[in-house]
Amino acid sequence: MAMDIAMGLRGRTLDWRRLLPLAGGTLLVLGGLFCAWQTWLIADEGAAIERVHRAQDQVAQSLAAELTRERHTLQQQLDALDPVATRADPAYAATLLRGKLPQTQAVEFYSGTLDEVLRANYREFGYAKAAQLMAAQSADGDPLAQTLPKGAGDRRLSFVLPMGARQRPTAWVLFELPFATLEERFNAVPPQGGRLELRQGDDRGRGDVQLLTHGSLSAVSESVGKPVAGSNLSVVAGLPGAYIVLPKSWLLTALLALLGLAGGIYLLWLRGRVPGLSLGKNKISNEEPILSDLIDNTPEPAKPEARPAKPAAAAAPVAVTVDPTIFRAYDVRGIVGKSLNVDVARLLGQSIGTVMREKGLREIVVGRDGRLSGPELTGALSDGLREAGIDVIDIGAVPTPVVYYAAYRFNTGSGVAVTGSHNPPDYNGFKIVVGGETLSEGSIQDLYRRIAANELERGGKGSLRHIDVVPDYVERITSDVQASRRLKVVVDCGNGIPGAVAPQVLEGIGCEIIPLFCDVDGTFPNHHPDPSDPHNLEDLILAVKSTGADLGVAFDGDGDRLGVVTRTGEIIFPDRTLMLFARDVLSRQPGATIIYDVKCTGHLKGQILDAGGSPLMWRTGHSLIKSKMRETGAELAGEMSGHFFFKERWYGFDDGIYAGARLLEILAGDLDERTPEEIFATCPKGVSTPELKIEMQEGEHYKFIEKFRQSASFGAAALTTIDGVRADWLDGWGLVRASNTTPILVLRFDADNEAALKRIQQVFREQLHAVDPALKLPF
């Protein structure tokens, strides 16, 4: 029996060793075939993408040709009308055109000045229609065609054409045609294995509203589409994804295929020619082994490798140089083309995704403001997040608060707003929320550390979805906040992204809105979108006075800050606006904590106490304020910069648009129907300065503050040093701190009267010059 077992073991071992060349050769051949398949995929990838791009061009040209034909037909019939008869009876002229153009579904005449459109109630008139008419008036060439929603899923193609001379038209005519014609032309072109999308957006081809799509659902959309000439439509290509796991070099994969096939065939040939061949370092003996040999030479099983706690660093360092100075206290921000580009954005996405994976989070919301660099940076950020295995929900061009809202709405708890906020047009950046926490200070620096150490998740296959959440955001606010009387309000969006949302919200709560610079333009052609600077409010003040409006409100570039001016032209500083918010919130939440930053007036503390609240001064910075709100359970917070944070009836994040709605609700809800000026007059004020700024070299402002904190002496004043140095006297206070977003010193002074203000400023002037005698002071 024992002899049978021994013989069986010897036989099986011998067979196994002789099969090694066969197994090895077979695996090499299969590997070679796999590499050959990968070579074909790589070689065909470019051709596949080219086929989709050709289809994209074909659709864009087909649609442009259809629009040109329609425009020519409409203009030809319009030019044939008698201008005098048309002015006398535009309704009859419209009927006449409908008879000559049976394909049209609506014809509407408007004056050459469009005064009736400027005065219209846009909620009833239609925001999109009003925007198209006003855009036609300011267009350099032919007004762009677009589509208009008509309810119940219906959509129409619309043209606005001039009657008479283009420079001084006697009338503007709006034509609405069936959208079906464009839909037929769009669907007539096969997507060639990819996906085609028809979107509507701005004149740079970056559409935000998806109108039509057909093709592969798995195709990945490009960030920039092909513009359809003569319209604000664009055709976006979704590129087919091939299963390519090897480096994308067909020469390398072809070489591997040849080596695999040649090596495999050679081993198979060699096995048949040389009996007893072994792949090991020893040749097989003709003598059969005994059982003890098998036992002694059996290797121990390999111990499993320990899984690293963090993603293993790649062998090669990160090739992209990342400027550490863009990782600031509250966000990541830099100059596009210098310290910030798509490579940095992609790495940042991987770093954020790595943090999320460690926390067990798998989905994130991404949105962008109206800056020209936004689409490209957002696309790269999303690529990095998906590389780390994170699913991305792209909500398009929206204010930063809408990104925060979407993170709640879709229950992701995580979001990134790609925004330069109130900075110049060449800036851009990222405000980041992970797991409900707005990243700041150490958490921001940790993102850089991971990039520098190349400790990044990679190889993931996160998904990408595009969702429009703006209607839901508007509905959420207007269903809860309402103005009990109709106030006339000028809304200045400074050409920032709030212009796409704020007018809808404020009109939706029941106010009459006069838009000012509400068309989104990332070059900010009229004034800088920063309401904390009084110079940027001059246009708003003039508009309020000239229109007889009750109030003027202004938003910054990404919509998370609010500025306010009255009918008389008075700028209401945010710390006084916070007094009204505190009274309102405390009327329903008595005893609640109200947080304000170190730049706010000393009168605010007394107002909060008088209203039955618990005042708490804290450091400046939206991330720091939100963190303190979570820690203390505060119902409301505000900053002198115009950030307001409502937890009561809202979600606790800073939202300038929502704050504007809550302010108008308070001002319009006064039982005595006092004017906004009379209501603001109940908020005490002294003599104060706006934020004063001293520019410095990058990093020097931090060094200066440290020296100032150590050397400055303010006698009997109460000092607060949680953020810079604030000195409070009985009749006023002064502050100097280092900005965490730009290399500047920020100063503010507030006192009961002019004499006290000048005295406090003189004390600070002496102390500042004691640190740097050459410092140029703005007071």
Give the catalytic positions in this structure. Answer: 333, 421, 643
For residue 234, report the phi and psi dihedrals to the nearest 5 degrees: -145, 155
Contact 342, 376 (CB under 8 A): yes
Phi and psi at residue 613, to the nearest 5°:
-110, 180
Tokens standing for residue 538: 């001059």
With beta carbons less than 8 A apart as the criterion, state whether 549 and 632 touch: no
What phi and psi values does residue 17 have, to the nearest 5 degrees?
Answer: -70, -35
Give 498's DSSP letter.
Answer: G
Give, as one character, the DSSP assignment of residue 422: T
Helix axes 574-586, 656-668, angle to 10 degrees: 70
Residues β-bridged to residue 687: 751
Tell me the one-letter amino acid at 142.
Answer: D
| H/E stretch holding 700 | helix 700-711
Amino acid at 23: A
The residues, ordered by sequence, that sit 6+ positions from 157 with a Cβ below 8 Å of its Cβ are 67, 70, 145, 146, 147, 176, 177, 178, 179, 181, 182
Residues 6+ apart with CB under 8 A from 657: 399, 401, 477, 498, 501, 502, 505, 506, 555, 559, 562
Looking up tokens 């792949």, which residue turns up? 279
Contacts of 569-573 with CB under 8 Å at 24 or more apart are: 569/541, 569/544, 569/545, 570/677, 570/680, 571/534, 571/537, 571/541, 571/690, 572/680, 573/601, 573/640, 573/685, 573/688, 573/690
Amino acid at 359: K
What is the spatial distance between Cα 56 and Cα 404, in angstroms, rounded to a whole number? 34
Task: Give the count of alpha carbons within 13 A of 262, CB side only.
Answer: 6
Name the DSSP class of 414: -
CB within 8 A of 319, min separation 6: which ones? none
Radius of gyration from C-alpha coordinates of the chain: 34
Secondary structure class of 593 (helix, strand, coil): strand
